[in-house]
């Protein structure tokens, strides 16, 4: 009893530890899955800004219609969750504002706001040497990016951070981050586009001032919501970490939380996952462990209580089990023997069935591998059995089959076996087939079956049938092959006129010895 109690306590403690470990593994996997989903979306956005940059740089004369068609064909709004809008921002000197306004009237951006009805109004207002204005734009009507007016000055993103207007890129090969609306989680990736040049003669020409920059606006909250899906027990934050010394519109060298989603669980554990190789993007996931600890404690006490109760029940059960064990074993042995007998014997005649006959033939074949030994298999089929069924009914046919089984069994010696395959087909196994014994036994069986059978309970009636026999001697190979040969010989006996036996010969499919008429 004491041993059972100790075992119950140990089991409960082990189960609690396993549940805690399993829950921790599940939490880690869930956190990793969410981070992976968000990371994949962020990487798709960063990859697309490179594609957008290459397209605009190589097609400087692209119109807004062509740009909108290219965006539609790229299916970016369907493929990239959180995508809010895309465009090309041109750096316009103050002296060229009128020319830019005329170009906008001729080729307006494909935005709900459209082209300005009057003079282009720069927002926010102010006098500057250059302005950053949208030349190409595409955004769905529901996107917050679509609400930006055509005259919005994107240079204000840098002026507001204390930087001068972008008269040159901080990093010509990479994208920088800008805040469009921190309250709604609207941010943008910017990448400068240099003025086109053909075969520059000097290295200085390779670093010409930028003519503008491409912009990829995205809703960071939508990206997080898509990654969280239906998980409500996590909090996710998307962080951006500028390169050391980089002058970005965010004007910060420490990680910046772009957006967050989900609730903060109790007893929280936090993990950070880097999105790219240089750790510019980071996904921070927070998951709670209070529920897991509560479940583990509940499982501990439930297991311990169940173990103590089972210990008491076990003591009583062992007492009952000791008395009933012998009875149960005897009952199982009887039932097993009964099932084994039913599985290997014919229910009508009590003779071995096909499975047992094949097993016995196989054993006999193994035993007769020695020289001067042979076995024989006889395949019997009753002649005229169908007439008995048709005339007297199937009950009479069943009585006849039982009577035939008794007569054939009476003809054989103890070392021989007779079995029923089904219907009116029987098989006889002779374990000693030397000196013409199969022919002698077959003759006796034919004569015994030819004798009339008296059937019926209340009113007796006489029935006459015969039998045809196919004989095959072994060992040819396997039990199935030997039975098949005997079946072929039986077919020849039936074909030759019934009421006789035929020995199987490999060269000739059937060879009849002296036939015995029925």
Residues 199-241: tens digit of each pLDDT: 444 455 455 678 899 999 989 888 888 888 877 778 888 888 8
Cβ-contact 253, 243 below 8 angstroms: no
pLDDT given at position 166 = 46
* Long-range contacts of the stretch 242-248 (C-beta < 8 A, 24+): 242/176, 242/177, 242/280, 243/171, 243/278, 243/280, 246/170, 246/171, 246/176, 247/163, 247/170, 248/170, 248/176, 248/177, 248/178
Cα separation, 308 vs 510, whole angstroms: 77
pLDDT at 197 > cutoff 50:
no
- The mean pLDDT value of the chain amounts to 81
pLDDT given at position 159 = 62
Does 202 or 262 have the greater pLDDT score? 262
Among the ranges 303-312, 326-335, 342-351, which has the highest mean pLDDT value? 342-351
The 10s digit of each residue's pLDDT in 56-89 is 999 989 999 999 999 999 998 888 888 899 999 9
Residue 452 binned pLDDT confidence (cut-offs 50, 70, 90)? very high
Cα separation, 261 vs 404, whole angstroms: 87
Cβ-contact 50, 193 below 8 angstroms: no
Please name every residue paired with 22 in a beta bridge, in sequence order, or none if there are none: none
The 10s digit of each residue's pLDDT in 123-182 is 888 888 999 999 999 988 788 877 778 788 888 876 654 333 444 444 445 678 888 888
pLDDT given at position 143 = 81
Nearest to 3 by CA among 321, 308, 318, 320: 308
Cβ-contact 143, 85 below 8 angstroms: yes
- The secondary structure of 257-306 as a DSSP string is EEEEEE---SSEEEEEEE-STT--EEEEEEEE-HHHHHHHHHHHHHHHHH
Alpha-carbon distances of 70 from 58, 61, 78, 114, 276, rounded to whole Å = 14, 14, 14, 19, 27
Mean pLDDT value across residues 13-17: 77
pLDDT given at position 317 = 76
Mean pLDDT value across residues 486-511: 82
The 10s digit of each residue's pLDDT in 386-435 is 999 999 999 999 999 999 999 999 998 878 899 999 899 999 999 888 77
pLDDT at 372 > cutoff 80:
no
Cα separation, 168 vs 164, whole angstroms: 10
pLDDT at 6 > cutoff 90:
no
pLDDT given at position 164 = 36
Compute the half-sphere exposure of residue 506: CA atoms within 13 Å on the CB side of its CA.
Answer: 7
Q: Which distant-in-sequence residues (6+ apart) come within 8 Å of 93 by Cβ?
A: 129, 130
pLDDT given at position 510 = 45
Question: What are 248's two structure tokens?
Answer: 């970005």
């Amino acid at each position: 009893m004491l041993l059972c109690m100790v075992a119950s306590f140990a089991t409960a403690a082990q189960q609690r530890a396993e549940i805690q470990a399993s829950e921790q593994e599940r939490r880690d996997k869930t956190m990793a899955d969410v981070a992976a989903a968000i990371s994949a979306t962020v990487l798709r956005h960063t990859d697309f800004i490179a594609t957008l940059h290459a397209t605009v740089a190589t097609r400087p004369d692209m119109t807004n219609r062509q740009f909108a068609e290219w965006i539609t064909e790229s299916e970016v709004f369907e493929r990239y969750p959180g995508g809010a809008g895309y465009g090309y921002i041109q750096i316009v000197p103050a002296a060229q504002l009128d020319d830019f306004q005329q170009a906008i009237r001729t080729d307006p951006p494909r935005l709900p706001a459209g082209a300005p009805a009057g003079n282009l109004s720069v927002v926010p207002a102010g006098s500057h040497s250059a302005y950053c204005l949208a030349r190409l734009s595409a955004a769905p009507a529901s996107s917050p990016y679509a609400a930006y007016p055509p005259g919005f000055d994107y240079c204000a993103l840098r002026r507001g951070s204390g930087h001068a207007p972008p008269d040159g890129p901080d990093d010509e090969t990479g994208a920088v981050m800008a805040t469009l609306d921190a309250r709604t989680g609207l941010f943008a990736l910017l990448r400068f586009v240099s003025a086109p040049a053909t075969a520059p003669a000097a290295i200085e020409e390779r670093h010409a001032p930028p003519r503008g920059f491409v912009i990829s606006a995205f809703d960071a909250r939508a990206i997080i919501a898509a990654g969280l899906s239906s998980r409500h027990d996590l909090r996710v934050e998307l962080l951006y970490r500028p390169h050391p010394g980089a002058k970005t519109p965010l004007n910060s060298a420490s990680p910046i939380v772009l957006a967050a989603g989900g609730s903060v669980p109790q007893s929280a554990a936090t993990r950070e996952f880097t999105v790219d190789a240089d750790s510019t993007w980071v996904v921070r996931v927070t998951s709670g462990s209070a529920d897991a600890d509560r479940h583990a404690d509940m499982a501990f006490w439930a297991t311990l209580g169940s173990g103590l109760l089972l210990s008491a029940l076990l003591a009583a059960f062992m007492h009952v089990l000791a008395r009933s064990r012998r009875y149960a074993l005897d009952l199982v042995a009887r039932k097993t023997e009964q099932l084994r007998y039913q599985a290997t014997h014919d229910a009508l005649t009590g003779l071995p069935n096909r499975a047992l006959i094949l097993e016995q033939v196989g054993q006999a074949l193994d035993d007769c591998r020695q020289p001067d030994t042979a076995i024989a298999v006889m395949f019997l089929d009753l002649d005229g059995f169908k007439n008995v069924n048709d005339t007297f009914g199937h009950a009479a046919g069943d009585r006849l089959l039982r009577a035939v089984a008794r007569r054939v069994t009476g003809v054989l010696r103890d070392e021989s076996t007779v079995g029923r395959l089904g219907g009116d087909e029987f098989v006889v196994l002779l374990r000693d087939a030397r000196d013409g014994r199969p022919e002698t036994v077959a003759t006796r069986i034919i004569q015994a079956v030819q004798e009339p059978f008296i059937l019926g309970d209340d009113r007796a009636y006489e029935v006459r049938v015969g039998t045809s026999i196919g004989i095959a001697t072994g060992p040819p190979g396997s039990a199935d092959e030997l039975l098949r040969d005997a079946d072929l010989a039986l077919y020849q006996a039936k074909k030759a006129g019934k009421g006789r036996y035929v020995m199987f010969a490999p060269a000739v499919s059937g060879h009849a010895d002296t036939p015995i008429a029925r």
